[in-house]
Amino acid sequence: MRLVVTGREGQVVSSLVERARTHPDVEVVTLGRPELDLAKPETIERALVATRPDLVVSAAAYTAVDQAEDEPDLAFAVNGIGAGHVAAAAARIGAPVIHLSTDYVFDGSGEGAYVEEDEPAPRSVYGASKLAGEQAVAKANPRHLILRTAWVYSPFGRNFVKTMLRLAADRDELAVVADQWGNPTSALDIADAILHVAAMLHGNKDFASYGVYHLAGTGETNWSGFARHILDTSQAFGGPYARVRDIATVDYPTKAQRPANSRLARTKFTSEFGWTAPEWRESTKEVVRRLLIGETRQTLTA
Ligand SMILES: NC(=O)C1=CN([C@@H]2O[C@H](COP(=O)(O)OP(=O)(O)OC[C@H]3O[C@@H](n4cnc5c(N)ncnc54)[C@H](O)[C@@H]3O)[C@@H](O)[C@H]2O)C=CC1
């Protein structure tokens, strides 16, 4: 099965490339700029047709949440219109599309974990642009799986785990917000889930489970709890450590508003596909270990 992924060096893209190495029947082709530029619709179909995918994974996105407040046109062009063109091109080729979306489509005012049927109400340009993408994908290709994920980290790219380890190398104490709740999710687990579903989808004309799903790490925490676990784990491995001081969102102003509660209920994905992500602490431990043993050490200082 040839799986074509949009993006070249993102967290999910890199994780898919790595995890697919243990699936001899899967070939992953990455497709990014300049051949495929989501901000340039004319590049999208041509690039996708040339790679002849069995399945398209739409993982590339404009992910700079705060910067998006200053660049709404670009964020919507990439995450909304661009994502729609990817799904449309897949439809023309006859391929299903697995599209990544975000917990930030919700406003965070809910009490429990969000289910797929809950009404989205994004509070940021990034969240709104990703919601536009979900709508465009669903309209362009009936054979779509929209996977909303959250709080993504990995040994690759930029993410919270790397930031905490980098800051802890220079400081004794880090102030981290304790009133935003969610599900830390390893991109390596996202890759495993995608490969699991891809195997169910491939060549199965009777596949009837298209739609929107929440896919996130098992368990929940807030950013400060996440930071503590990262740094305790790092200390146990002999890596950098800092104390974590709880602060409130109001004490850490950012351009984009973030949902206070963006916990995602994962039961639909589990019951439909028989796959559950590992507990977030376990997956975090593995990523911290990998970052500390140095295989990607140079990126910690980047
Ligand atoms: N990082 C996170 O915490 C979360 C991410 N997501 C979603 O998951 C997906 C994957 O996220 P990550 O791997 O963390 O993102 P990332 O920021 O690590 O990688 C994004 C990729 O998109 C590519 N890209 C950006 N603009 C492009 C353009 N105009 N044309 C072609 N490629 C372009 C980048 O080069 C990069 O390869 C995205 O759809 C994101 O919105 C959802 C929830 C949380």
CATH code for position 240:
3.40.50.720
On average, the pLDDT of the chain sits at 96
Mutation test residue for ligand 1: of 37, 40, 42, 63, the one with most atoms within 8 Å of CB: 63
Query: Tens digit of pLDDT for each residue in 127-179?
Result: 999 999 999 999 999 999 999 999 999 999 999 999 999 999 999 999 999 99
Q: For the chain, how many residues are written?
A: 302
Instruction: Give the model's pLDDT for residue 205.
Output: 87
> Is the C-beta atom of 39 inside 6 A of ligand 1?
yes
Q: Which residues of 175-200 are buried (b: 16+ CB within 10 A; e: fewer)?
A: ebbbebbbbbbbbbbbbbbbbebbee
Distance (Å) from CA 294 to ligand 1 centroid: 24
Token couple for 40? 């340039």
Structural domain span for residue 146: 2-300
CA nearest 215: which of 26, 57, 63, 82? 57
Q: Helical H runs in 22-69?
A: 41-51
CA of 203 to the centre of ligand 1 (A): 28
pLDDT at residue 180, as a whole number: 97
The pTM is what? 0.97
pLDDT block averages, 10 residues each, the chain of length 302 = 96 98 97 98 97 97 98 98 98 97 96 96 98 98 98 97 97 97 98 98 93 98 98 97 97 94 97 98 98 65 48
Query: Domain tally for the chain?
Result: 1
Is the Cβ atom of 89 under 6 angstroms away from ligand 1? no
Residues 173-182: tens digit of each pLDDT? 999 999 999 9
CB 98 within 8 A of CB 115: no
Catalytic residues, which ones? 126
